[in-house]
Amino acid sequence: MSPLHYQLSLHDYRSHRFAITLIIDQPDPNGQLLRLPKWIPGSYMIRDFSKHIINLRATTFDGEALAVSVVDPAHWQIAPHQRSIKIHYEVYAWDLSVRGAHYDQQHAFLNGTSCFLDVVGQSEQPHSLDLLADEWALQQAWSVATTLPKLAVNEQGFGRYQAATYAELIDHPIEIGSFTELRFDAGGIEHRMVLTGVHDADLERIAADLAPICAAQLAFFGQPTPFKHYLFMVMVTGNGYGGLEHRSSTALMCSRESLPYPGMDQPHDKYLEFLELCSHEYFHSWNVKRIQPAQLQQSDLQSPATTQLLWWFEGATSYYDLLFLYRAGTIDHATYLNKLAEQLTRVYRMPGRFQQTLADSSKQAWTKFYQQDENAPNAIISYYTKGALAVIALDLTLRSHTQGQKNLDDLMRMLWQDYGIAEQGLAENTIELLASDLAGCPLDDFFNQALHSTNDLPLDELFAQVGIQFSLRPPYANQDLGGPHPKANQPDAKPYLNLGAAMANTPNNSIKLTHVWLDRPAHRAGLAGGDEIIALDAIRMSNVAQLDAYLQRRPLGDRLTCHYFRRDELAQTEVTLDLPPADRVVLSAHKSCHWPEK
Ligand code: ZN
């Protein structure tokens, strides 16, 4: 047994609690300090996982009680003892997300950051873990899925695991239950997906579609591969969406309808989104799990770690996740460009891009991107979407400086070879230096504009060099996400008239404004996020579809009387319909266009 040993037992699914015993062979003779992370890598928010630790006590190996004092919400101090000690506690697991821990009669899912106390001073020691089933888990024939290295486990995966360090222990989430499962080979490496929750997915279809995406990424980065095997852990729910990357696995949440069904022909949009999510988290195995900002590597997970490089780690990963659907043959070139246009539209629709630079977006992720409120579209810009835009502009800039000899792929591979393999952290300016090196000249102007100014990058000029016409047009429908639209070719087509607000139906048969865009009709009329519209022109409006249809019957410039509730107070205003801005991106390729390469 290693100097640090955890036992996790599936204590009681009814109270959603794991029971954990931690054995410390050589505690600090002056009294052992214990702590729990306040955040989980990849998700930049203080989550205070310690709030779910219950009934923590300490004993000698023989069971004699030792005093425990709470130092602060995330630290515990154990009374001095010269020999082995045991720490006993429970974890309340009722957070159905990829970031926490969840346990009920259907399954158990856990991240180490929620469950395993860090023994201060011994984080670099080996950490072993016994996973113990209870009667219910045995009755239900539950098994374990995790990439945590196995020492001695039974056929169901219960038994002993061992991690080389604390950081490794918390980077292998664990799923336990009666999941469905698929396996495939990519690049000679075994890949496995386990799906928990009610679903009717065509597993063979997922394997057939995902294998070429993984194989293309493995081939792109070349040897050495970062892992010996890989696991996708998918929680299927009614409307979930999200993912979190780990060193050889990912935890994903998706909706039932995003999965393929037996007999499905062409992949539908939601399924493409699911494949893109898988592709995204898989790409992170290189870009952020091994190629890492030094600022994140140095974190003890107790306070926010700040870097300006999230634009690269999430922007480049967002750019490549879709690109690998094209490179793997999941989508054709036209579909690729249309999806890319939709991605770029998500930047051009945000007035906040004129308020926050990309570098600041990254540095303020903790307080702004992860704590978005009703003003978010007007105040911030996402380092995912604008980061992807900047990465595309960087690719096109590298090409133009090198007569097409160098591009973003060269930069990405260089990062893997020179930094990722050795896990050498990136300084805040490493990307800029490497890119300038590749370009053969300083790219200060480019990076100043892309990262430190709020001016739009000259995408029209940059795309023109590779035979793509970049243009902007107004919206023609409520769900117009960008890309080509049949109405765009009709000279007298009327744009989709709207209030310039995001809206949702309420149970009161009214319409709630969730976000109000600056300098659009709702804003100019004094409406705000949270307001509930009940009538236009003294006609009751019961839902968003009805309001939408009413607006489309009105002429441009029309003035409408609007009745609404702010909190519980009835108010009235006048809304003037304006010409919606041209903020939907269209990318049209000339026949000669070979961008991006397959
Ligand atoms: Zn990501």
pLDDT tens-digit map of 307-344? 999 999 999 999 999 999 999 999 999 999 999 999 99
* Residue 596: Cβ within 10 Å count: 21
Q: How far is the CA of 313 from the centre of ligand 1 (A)?
A: 7
Q: How far is the CA of 452 from the centre of ligand 1 (A)?
A: 22
Q: How far is the CA of 244 from the centre of ligand 1 (A)?
A: 7
Q: How far is the CA of 321 from the centre of ligand 1 (A)?
A: 9
Q: How far is the CA of 482 from the centre of ligand 1 (A)?
A: 23
Q: How far is the CA of 75 from the centre of ligand 1 (A)?
A: 30
* Residue 496: Cβ within 10 Å count: 19
Q: How far is the CA of 516 from the centre of ligand 1 (A)?
A: 27
Q: How far is the CA of 246 from the centre of ligand 1 (A)?
A: 11
In sequence order, which residues have a C-beta less than 8 Å from that of residue 64 and are 6 or more positions away?
none
In sequence order, which residues have a C-beta less than 8 Å from that of residue 228 and are 6 or more positions away?
189, 248
Q: How far is the CA of 230 from the centre of ligand 1 (A)?
A: 17
Q: How far is the CA of 314 from the centre of ligand 1 (A)?
A: 5
Q: How far is the CA of 259 from the centre of ligand 1 (A)?
A: 20
Comparing C-alpha atoms, which of 411, 338, 333 is closest to residue 597? 333
Phi, psi of 471 (to 5 degrees): -145, 165
pLDDT tens-digit map of 555-582? 999 999 999 999 999 999 999 999 999 9
- State if pTM tops 0.85: yes
Helix (H) / strand (E) element for 362: namely helix 358-363
Q: How far is the CA of 318 from the centre of ligand 1 (A)?
A: 7
Q: How far is the CA of 391 from the centre of ligand 1 (A)?
A: 14
Q: What is the rounded CA–CA span in Å between residue 68 and residue 381?
A: 45
Comparing C-alpha atoms, which of 108, 99, 106 is closest to residue 8? 108
β pairing state of 180-186 and 584-589: unpaired
Sheet with 107-110, strands from edge to edge, namely 101-103, 107-110, 174-177, 143-145
Q: How far is the CA of 277 from the centre of ligand 1 (A)?
A: 9
- What is the mean predicted confidence (pLDDT) over 428-433? 98
Beta bridge mates, 244: 251
pLDDT score of 111 more than 90: yes
Q: How far is the CA of 341 from the centre of ligand 1 (A)?
A: 19
Q: How far is the CA of 23 from the centre of ligand 1 (A)?
A: 35
Q: What is the rounded CA–CA span in Å between residue 365 and residue 344?
A: 20
Q: How far is the CA of 554 from the centre of ligand 1 (A)?
A: 42
Q: How far is the CA of 280 from the centre of ligand 1 (A)?
A: 6
Q: What is the CA radius of gyration of the chain?
A: 26
- What is the mean predicted confidence (pLDDT) over 149-177? 98
pLDDT of residue 3: 86
Q: How far is the CA of 428 from the centre of ligand 1 (A)?
A: 19
pLDDT of residue 467: 97
- What is the mean predicted confidence (pLDDT) over 278-304? 97
3-state secondary structure of 12: strand
**Which tokens in the block code for residue 431?**
């990307």
Q: What is the rounded CA–CA span in Å between residue 578 and residue 191?
A: 52
Q: How far is the CA of 281 from the centre of ligand 1 (A)?
A: 6
β pairing state of 127-132 and 4-12: parallel
**Which tokens in the block code for residue 132?**
């113990």
Phi, psi of 240 (to 5 degrees): -75, 155
Query: Contact 347/389 with Cβ under 8 angstroms?
Result: yes
pLDDT score of 1 more than 70: no
pLDDT score of 271 more than 70: yes
**Which tokens in the block code for residue 256?**
């039932």
Q: How far is the CA of 431 from the centre of ligand 1 (A)?
A: 18
* Residue 385: Cβ within 10 Å count: 22
Q: What is the rounded CA–CA span in Å between residue 57 and residue 51?
A: 15
- What is the mean predicted confidence (pLDDT) over 11-33? 96
Q: How far is the CA of 426 from the centre of ligand 1 (A)?
A: 17
Comparing C-alpha atoms, which of 391, 390, 415, 394 is closest to residue 406? 394
Q: How far is the CA of 327 from the centre of ligand 1 (A)?
A: 19
Comparing C-alpha atoms, which of 208, 199, 216, 215 is closest to residue 253? 199
- What is the mean predicted confidence (pLDDT) over 82-103? 97
- What is the mean predicted confidence (pLDDT) over 195-215? 97
Q: How far is the CA of 218 from the centre of ligand 1 (A)?
A: 18
Q: How far is the CA of 315 from the centre of ligand 1 (A)?
A: 8
How far lies 306's CA from each of 293, 365, 384, in Å? 10, 8, 16
3-state secondary structure of 92: strand
At residue 491 the predicted structure's pLDDT band, cuts being 50, 70 and 90, is confident
* Mean confidence (pLDDT) of the chain: 97
Q: How far is the CA of 394 from the centre of ligand 1 (A)?
A: 19
Comparing C-alpha atoms, which of 169, 345, 370, 199 is closest to residue 274? 199
Q: How far is the CA of 252 from the centre of ligand 1 (A)?
A: 12
Q: How far is the CA of 129 from the centre of ligand 1 (A)?
A: 28
pLDDT of residue 57: 98
**Which tokens in the block code for residue 274?**
């699911």
Query: Contact 197/102 with Cβ under 8 angstroms?
Result: no
Q: How far is the CA of 577 from the centre of ligand 1 (A)?
A: 38
